[in-house]
Amino acid sequence: METDWIWGLVGGATIGLGGAVYLLGNGRVMGASGIFGGLIDGSGWNSLWERVAFLVGVIVTPLILWPIYNVEIDTHMTTNVWVIIAAGLLVGVGTRIANGCTSGHGVCGISRFSLRGIVATVFYILAGGLTLAIFRHVLGLI
Amino acid sequence: MRLILSLIAGSLFGGGLFISGMTDTTKVQGWLDVFGNWDPTLAFVMGGAVIPMFFAWRLTRGRQPLVGGEFPTTRPELDHRLVTGSVLFGMGWGLAGLCPGPALASLTYNGWAGVLFLAAMSAGMLISAPVGTQLDRLAAKA
């Protein structure tokens, strides 16, 4: 769609506003893998409800926006079980070992000119592009 | 207060991911797919998100978070975990077109595939500690 970039920019600014509220309000870096991961492995249970409240907002808001937005939403998610399991495992392991993902290292890191954030972003984009190129254009699997 | 701010931040984050189209895996894979039909939307989302966060980081100077305490400090050092973790994450990101934020935001409308991805991602987070230790050993040998 020709208006995709406008929605991208508006949605992006909304994401950034969320990060700003989380930082200036609670004094924390808004990283999805960190907030969720801390709940999964128990390392973040000392701030349990803060994390739960954040995730409730993340999961419920699209449901509220859906009828207002009034556009057919298709996630085009792959249905290949092995691809889903492999991808999920890699994303889970990788984001915890690197201590951040697209929101923490990407959005919050780059905006403060953090070297760690920039290096992480360069590597996950290169790895993502290369993996997609191999699996789509060489092997034809995805 | 902390919980309300978390809920607001999470809602902005989830809403932003939804309206930017980032829960559509073809948009993410389309951006990574430089050899295919390249989709620039993700760059607009990133750009849009970085702008409010840039000002938020500026506002942290000489201030305290609203709820008190300290703002997060940066870690200057680059280590092998940042790079290897980001590479693993990027591979999974490229395979499925989902990173942790959109995986959570799309939970209610991404079907069984989205639930399976989130389960695999959680499993990956749980095994990330021993995997990280193994990587440390390999890095020490190298």
- Cβ–Cβ contact B121 with A under 8 A: yes
Which chain A residues touch B127 with a CB distance below 8 Å? 89, 92-93
Q: What local confidence, expressed as pLDDT, does residue A67 receive?
A: 84
Q: What local confidence, expressed as pLDDT, does residue A68 receive?
A: 83
Closest CA to A124 of A137, A105, A108: A105
What mean pLDDT comes out for the span B48-54? 98
Tell me what the pLDDT averaged over chain B comes to. Answer: 96
Indicate if the pLDDT at residue B75 is higher than 90: no
The Cα of A129 is separated from the nearest Cα of chain B by a number of Å equal to 5
Contact B49, B55 (CB under 8 A): no
Tell me what the pLDDT averaged over chain A comes to. Answer: 95
- Nearest-Cα residue of chain B relative to residue A87: B92
What mean pLDDT comes out for the span A73-79? 92
What mean pLDDT comes out for the span A82-103? 98
Kindly report the three-state secondary structure assignment for every residue of chain A: CCCHHHHHHHHHHHHHHHHHHHHHHHCCCCCHHHHHHHHHCCCCHHHHHHHHHHHHHHHHHHHHHHHHHCCCCCCCCCCCHHHHHHHHHHHHHHHHHHCCCHHHHHHHHHCCCCHHHHHHHHHHHHHHHHHHHHHHHHCCCC
Over residues B13-23, the pLDDT tens digits come to 999 999 999 99
Q: What local confidence, expressed as pLDDT, does residue A65 receive?
A: 93
**pTM (predicted TM-score):** 0.96
What mean pLDDT comes out for the span A47-51? 97
Q: What local confidence, expressed as pLDDT, does residue A70 receive?
A: 65
3-state secondary structure of B115: helix
3-state secondary structure of B109: coil
Closest CA to B119 of B103, B102, B101, B108: B103
Indicate if the pLDDT at residue A111 is higher than 70: yes
Q: What local confidence, expressed as pLDDT, does residue B18 receive?
A: 96
Q: What local confidence, expressed as pLDDT, does residue B74 receive?
A: 84
Confidence tier at A1 by pLDDT (50, 70, 90): low
- Nearest-Cα residue of chain B relative to residue A29: B72
Which chain A residues touch B27 with a CB distance below 8 Å? 4
Q: What local confidence, expressed as pLDDT, does residue A3 receive?
A: 86
Q: What local confidence, expressed as pLDDT, does residue A92 receive?
A: 98
Structural domain boundaries enclosing B136: 2-141
Over residues B83-124, the pLDDT tens digits come to 999 999 999 999 999 999 999 999 999 999 999 999 999 999
Q: What local confidence, expressed as pLDDT, does residue B31 receive?
A: 96
In total, how many domains does chain B have? 1
Measured distance CA(A43)–CA(A34) in Å, rounded: 10
What mean pLDDT comes out for the span A80-86? 97
Contact A33, B128 (CB under 8 A): no
Percent of chain A's residues with pLDDT above 70: 98
Confidence tier at A34 by pLDDT (50, 70, 90): very high
Closest CA to B95 of A136, A138, A99, A37: A136
Which chain B residues touch A43 with a CB distance below 8 Å? none
Indicate if the pLDDT at residue A73 is higher than 90: no
